[in-house]
Structure 1
Amino acid sequence: MSGPNTGTASIYEDGDEHNYSREAIRGEQRHHLQNVEGYMRKDQNRGMNDMLSEDTQAQINERYKTDPLYHATMHGNKPSRGAQQDAEIQAEEAEMLRKKQEKTDSMPGKKFEHKSSREH
């Protein structure tokens, strides 16, 4: 065992205490609408871990909805033939939509603002 460990393994994944910067805490608080900045340090860490877990779970749930191969691969299985076909169809449809979008974007008089240009 290298170095001192604080906390318990049930709270911290690797057995070490995680300290988050104030900026990281403030950023997560804005996203989750939860104020943990006034908590004691160990409760701040627990609150941050909970908020980050929620983010990860939301990403996993979204991927379950959008990726037909994800269910099987998450459980260490080979995706079924139907799931593989669904993924192929999904990729083909995405390609068709991309081509259609390119075609309509180049139309004269088309006032389409790309998402990336709005962000700048």
Structure 2
Amino acid sequence: MSSGAMMSNVGNPQVYNDDDQRTYKRGEDPSIPPRYEAGQENSHDLLDSKDQRSLSNRLDAAVKAENDEGERVQHARSTDPRAPAEWHGNEPSRGAQIDAELKEDDEETLRRKGIA
């Protein structure tokens, strides 16, 4: 018998490494990129009805797309009062322009005072 720790009658014990029998849970294996971030950007339409993905994968993609869009819209809403009109291709209203000017003035005043 061999003097190694591997006491198997099958195969050559010299070819076995510790990595060969290791299993990873989803997200632990560093060589596998996270789901929906593996391919190239804009390589195909995520919500394509003719795509041959399962319903659960299509649903996950739709939820991710909705969350990404919602976060982007929410962030812009909280930062720029002119953003909604500009998204729709319109000129912002006078009130939105005044709000943006007032916000800029407030930020400048706070910077001068050293608060922000």
Superposition TM-score tier, normalisation by shorter sequence? 0.3 to 0.5
TM-score, L = length of structure 1 = 0.45
TM-score, L = length of structure 2 = 0.46
